[in-house]
Amino acid sequence: MLRALVVVVLAAVAAAPACKGSESALPAGEVGGGEPTRVPLVPKDHALYARFEGTSFDNGCSDDSACNKGGCSDEVCAAGDSPPGTCDVPEVQIPSAANCGCVSGECVWYSDGSLTLAAAGEKPTPAEQPGPRCGDVTCAAGETCIEYYGIAGPRGPKFETCGIPCPNGKCADGKKCITIADGPGPVCQ
């Protein structure tokens, strides 16, 4: 009887469908077995669409291997080997995180939808330059490194702090000139 029970259990285990292991899991970025989302980066009404998407080329594709970057600064995405460009610097740049590949049967720049492309004619706002180094820190834009002595005067240690000095008692941007005794002296706060 025990032998018959063991045979039945083994037969049931052998007939049961195998569990899928981790090797059959979906690749990262895929949901439900589909392709990761590809959103064309350059809108068709963008002033530089023809340049970035190489519309003068046959851009048909069936997969990413047909699509290549070209132009002097890799600003063109088109089918074929090394599509040429105009070798000037476009006023708008393709974001470095964008990809050139096959989307809906056409070679185009694409992203996951998180990137945007500035309109032609828009000038990027320049990044504010940080201030000077002050000890172990970098001062904010517009600040300088102020050196001063504490309560011990020149016999004591020299200190450094970032700030905006106001020796004439005037500050910009609605700040007030405050004198910090035993500190950096008159600074804007």
Percent of the chain with pLDDT over 90: 12
- State the pLDDT confidence band at 136, using cuts at 50, 70 and 90: confident
Residues 20-25: what's their mean pLDDT?
Answer: 34
- State the pLDDT confidence band at 107, using cuts at 50, 70 and 90: very high
Classified as helix, coil or strand, 115 is coil
pLDDT at 126 over 60: no
User: What is the reported pLDDT for 31?
Assistant: 37
Integer CA distances (angstroms), 92 to 2, 56, 119, 120, in order: 79, 20, 7, 6
User: What is the reported pLDDT for 25?
Assistant: 34
pTM over 0.75: no
First-to-last C-alpha distance (Å) of the chain: 91
Tokens of 14: 């052998």
User: What is the reported pLDDT for 29?
Assistant: 32
pLDDT at 50 over 70: yes
Residues 27-32: what's their mean pLDDT?
Answer: 34
User: What is the reported pLDDT for 18?
Assistant: 42
pLDDT at 61 over 50: yes
Cα dihedral 42→47→51→53 (10° resolution)? 20
User: What is the reported pLDDT for 81?
Assistant: 80
Residue 138 backbone dihedrals phi, psi, to 5 degrees: -110, 130
- Strand 144-149 with 158-163, pairing: antiparallel
User: What is the reported pLDDT for 124?
Assistant: 46
Tokens of 57: 């080329």
Classified as helix, coil or strand, 138 is strand
User: What is the reported pLDDT for 129?
Assistant: 61
CB 116, CB 122: distance < 8 Å: no
Residue predicted with more confidence, 144 or 25? 144
- Strand 144-149 with 137-138, pairing: unpaired
Residue predicted with more confidence, 181 or 15? 181
Q: Mean pLDDT in the chain? A: 75
